[in-house]
Amino acid sequence: MNDKDADWIGLTLAGARPRAVAALYRYFRDLDMAEEAFQEACLRALKSWPKNGPPRDPAAWLILVGRNSGIDSVRRRARFTALPEEDKISDTSDAETDIAERIDDSHYRDDILRLLFVCCHPDLPATQQIALALRIVSGLTVKQIARAFLVSDAAMEQRITRAKARIAKSGASFETPDAADRAERVGAVAAMVYLVFNEGYTSAGERSETRSTFAEEAIRLARLLLGLFPTEPELMGLLALLLIQQSRDAARFDANGNIVLLDDQDRTLWDRRMIDEGLALIDKAMRHRRPGVFQVQAAIAALHAHAKTPADTDWTEIELLYRVLESLQPSPVVTLNRAVAVSKIDGPQAALDLIEPLADALGGYFYFHGLRGGLLKDLGRIEEARIAFDIAIAHANTTAEAVHIRAHLDKLGGSPSGA
């Protein structure tokens, strides 16, 4: 197999993975078996497709081959152990059933939604949700995921194994979800996709591969969700938000991996194609007149994207949108973000007055102390600013964040407070 064959086969397998694994999961009701069956089908595709060409429907081909492979595997194991109960294996009676009859559009949508919903099962902590989605749906290797989370391969393997075991123990439902349940699932899955993106977006500059991989997978999952529910405005907002945020990736860190704030970024490095797609999605979402959290966040990101220079930023409109966001999703973090806009409109004292009541809720939050230090510095309260910056460094999540605050401390001059 030459490199050209390997490239198109790899892209085809990656694109078919969510649909194929989701259908195999419905058949076998076991994540490990679904994964193994899909991998076996991929191996057969690597042997067959270069000679015979791609099938008309690669996902259907992989599902049929994987399903038959899984059934064969169960039968081989049966030579040494008793067969599992009938309800443990879904529909193994006729391996030659026309796959097109088994996977119509509604099944396809419910299968993938079920798989995504399983990955963001409420019993799982956020880190396990992200890891499981990246492994099961996106097909990233354990090594890739472990490197992103800065843990060993063995530790990540255990994390994913525990997540699968917890899901199996919980007994996930296989009924076709009704409209209300489906809406709940979509919301939970959208939140998980945003977590995947955010895990990469907040990575340090030196982890550019992690940022790119996680962002690409989150955007791909968001596109997948929007393809399943093309009239859902919140999913339009989610994809728009991810695209506009990711459009700035090339400008967010300097050559040394240090953070470059929005006002200091080279806006010519922003990806205009991503921005234009995101803006079009926001316009389309707004026409539905059903505002949601992701739509409002996307609208805020769009206002930044519209500004050709920092001075052109419409901070008044941004502050109003943050007020809307506070009403939809009350959160001290949202108020903290609104304070940035308030500082641009009414000055640092107004912003400081807004965030001081958040001290208890955000006492361990890096960005709270970083913003507070910046506001105190602007007010000339240098010693208080130095203390706030020191606390921010203590709560930094990455080296890049700590270096960024250290630069602010250095500009203050004098001796560090030692906090």
Are the CB atoms for 134 and 42 separated by under 8 Å? no
Alpha-carbon gap, residue 402 to 337, rounded angstroms:
20
Q: What is residue 106's predicted lDDT score, i.e. its pLDDT? A: 45
Are the CB atoms for 341 and 367 separated by under 8 Å? no
Give the contacts of 336 (CB within 8 A, at least 6 positions apart). 355, 358, 362, 365, 367, 368, 371
Q: What is residue 97's predicted lDDT score, i.e. its pLDDT? A: 41
Alpha-carbon gap, residue 153 to 182, rounded angstroms:
35
Nearest CA to 215 among 271, 152, 280?
Answer: 271
Q: What is residue 105's predicted lDDT score, i.e. its pLDDT? A: 44
Alpha-carbon gap, residue 377 to 358, rounded angstroms:
19
Q: Which residues pair with 259 in a beta bridge?
A: 253
Alpha-carbon gap, residue 33 to 26, rounded angstroms:
11
For helices 208-228 and 126-136, the axis angle rounded to 10 degrees is 80
Alpha-carbon gap, residue 14 to 139, rounded angstroms:
7
Neighbours of 392 (CB within 10 A): 26
For helices 126-136 and 153-170, the axis angle rounded to 10 degrees is 100
CA dist 207 to 96, 213, 293, Å?
47, 10, 28
Q: What is residue 240's predicted lDDT score, i.e. its pLDDT? A: 98
Place of tokens 């591969």: 209
pTM of the model: 0.76
Are the CB atoms for 116 and 189 separated by under 8 Å? yes
Give the contacts of 232 (CB within 8 A, at least 6 positions apart). 186, 226
pLDDT one digit per residue (tens) for the chain, 419 residues: 566 767 788 888 888 888 898 889 888 888 889 999 999 999 999 999 988 888 888 889 999 999 998 888 877 776 665 555 555 444 444 433 444 444 444 456 667 777 888 888 878 888 888 888 888 888 888 888 887 776 889 999 999 999 888 888 876 655 555 666 667 778 878 888 888 888 777 664 445 555 677 888 889 889 988 988 899 999 999 999 999 999 999 999 888 888 898 999 999 999 999 999 999 999 999 999 999 999 999 999 999 999 999 999 999 999 999 999 999 999 999 999 999 999 999 999 999 999 999 999 999 999 999 999 999 999 999 999 999 999 999 998 778 888 889 988 888 864 444 33
Are the CB atoms for 365 and 395 separated by under 8 Å? yes
Helices assigned H by DSSP within 307-398: 315-328, 332-346, 348-355, 366-378, 382-394
Q: Which residues pair with 253 in a beta bridge?
A: 259
Q: What is residue 22's predicted lDDT score, i.e. its pLDDT? A: 87
* DSSP H or E stretch at residue 201: helix 179-201
Q: What is residue 253's predicted lDDT score, i.e. its pLDDT? A: 87
Give the contacts of 410 (CB within 8 A, at least 6 positions apart). none
